[in-house]
């Protein structure tokens, strides 16, 4: 019975999102930005008459994955709060629906949407490769495969945010505040690192930099986008150890955040 409920919820939400224009707008926007980056790269090659990168398609792919991930994390972050606002969540939980059934259906729905988007992305970059003679390498295939696990992280993180909030607006505000805080810490830490060696900066700034370094290291294990950077770095370094380790970390991350989402939703209840 639980599996049937999960499949029914999955199908309902999947078809709803698949037929919405926002999903395809996000994919189109990612391809548009990637095309602009590729154009600048090709123009640079023509002007300098040299090829300066062994992975010319990786930066556009990185941007594409970022845009798709941002869309999916927003969709995931508002999924529970949207059900609460519409009043459908309370109705669902009068039947044989548990928090686990509900959240896993949302997870698999968003994961499948991400995999389909990766399929479109693979076709797009293959066509780009054919038109520009930029190599569609095995590294690019590995990066696309890594994208599945990155999307898993993004979706589980978004669902956790949604489990904490009650309304769509609060879900979006909370998500943007957390991601904004991540960016502020990263920018501040990078700026302090650029000040030079320890002997050249004041003691308060030195303490601040040390504190931010600890926070930054923590963010690298909390932010789902940090796993994307590590995954693509592993591809560029051609390190199977780092590549497989990142996949394992992504799976553990997803399981932890899904468990936290289920726990939070059980504690808050349907009417929270």
Read off the pLDDT of residues 92-144 as tens digits, 9 standing for 90 and up: 666 667 888 888 989 999 999 999 999 999 999 989 888 877 777 888 899 99
Q: Are 236 and 243 in contact (CB under 8 A)?
A: no
Tell me the three state secondary structure of residue 20. coil
User: Looking at residue 232, what is its pLDDT?
Assistant: 87
The pLDDT of 167-176, averaged and rounded, is 86
C-alpha closest to that of 169 among 72, 70, 75, 78: 78
Least confident of 1-10, 95-104, 165-174: 1-10
Least confident of 17-26, 71-80, 150-159, 207-216: 207-216
The 10 Å Cβ neighbour count of residue 138 is 10
What angle do the packed helices 58-86 and 168-193 form, to 10 degrees? 150
The pLDDT of 6-12, averaged and rounded, is 76
Provide the whole-model pTM. Answer: 0.86
Q: Are 134 and 57 in contact (CB under 8 A)?
A: yes
The pLDDT of 24-43, averaged and rounded, is 85
User: Looking at residue 111, what is its pLDDT?
Assistant: 95
The pLDDT of 201-229, averaged and rounded, is 81
Q: Is the pLDDT confidence value at 7 over 90? A: no
The pLDDT of 232-248, averaged and rounded, is 91
The pLDDT of 175-199, averaged and rounded, is 74
Position 55 confidence tier, pLDDT thresholds 50, 70, 90: low
Domain ranges of the chain: 2-268
Who has greater pLDDT, 187 or 106? Answer: 106
Q: Is the pLDDT confidence value at 51 over 60? A: no
Read off the pLDDT of residues 142-167 as tens digits, 9 standing for 90 and up: 999 999 999 999 999 999 998 888 78
């Amino acid at each position: 019975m639980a599996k049937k409920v999960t499949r029914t919820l999955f199908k309902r939400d999947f078809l709803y999102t698949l037929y919405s224009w926002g999903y395809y707008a996000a994919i189109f926007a990612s391809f548009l930005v990637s095309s602009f980056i590729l154009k600048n790269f090709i123009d640079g090659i023509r002007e300098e008459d040299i090829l300066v990168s062994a992975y010319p398609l990786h930066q556009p792919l990185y941007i594409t994955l970022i845009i798709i991930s941002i869309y999916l994390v927003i969709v995931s972050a508002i999924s529970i709060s949207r059900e609460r606002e519409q009043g459908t969540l309370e109705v669902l939980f009068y039947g044989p629906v548990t928090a686990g059934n509900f959240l896993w259906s949302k997870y698999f729905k968003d994961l499948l949407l991400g995999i389909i988007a990766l399929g479109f992305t693979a076709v797009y970059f293959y066509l780009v490769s054919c038109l520009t003679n930029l190599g569609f390498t095995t590294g690019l295939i590995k990066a696309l495969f890594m994208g599945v696990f990155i999307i898993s992280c993004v979706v589980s993180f978004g669902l956790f945010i949604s489990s904490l909030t009650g309304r769509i607006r609060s879900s979006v505000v909370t998500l943007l505040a957390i991601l904004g805080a991540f960016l502020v810490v990263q920018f501040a830490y990078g700026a302090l690192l650029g000040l030079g060696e320890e002997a050249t900066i004041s003691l308060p700034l030195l303490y601040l930099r040390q504190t931010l370094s600890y926070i930054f290291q923590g963010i690298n294990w909390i932010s789902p986008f940090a796993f994307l950077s590590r995954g693509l770095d592993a591809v560029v370094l051609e390190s199977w150890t780092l590549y497989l380790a990142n996949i394992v970390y992504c799976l553990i991350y997803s399981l932890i955040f899904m468990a936290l989402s289920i726990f939070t939703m059980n504690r808050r209840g349907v009417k929270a």
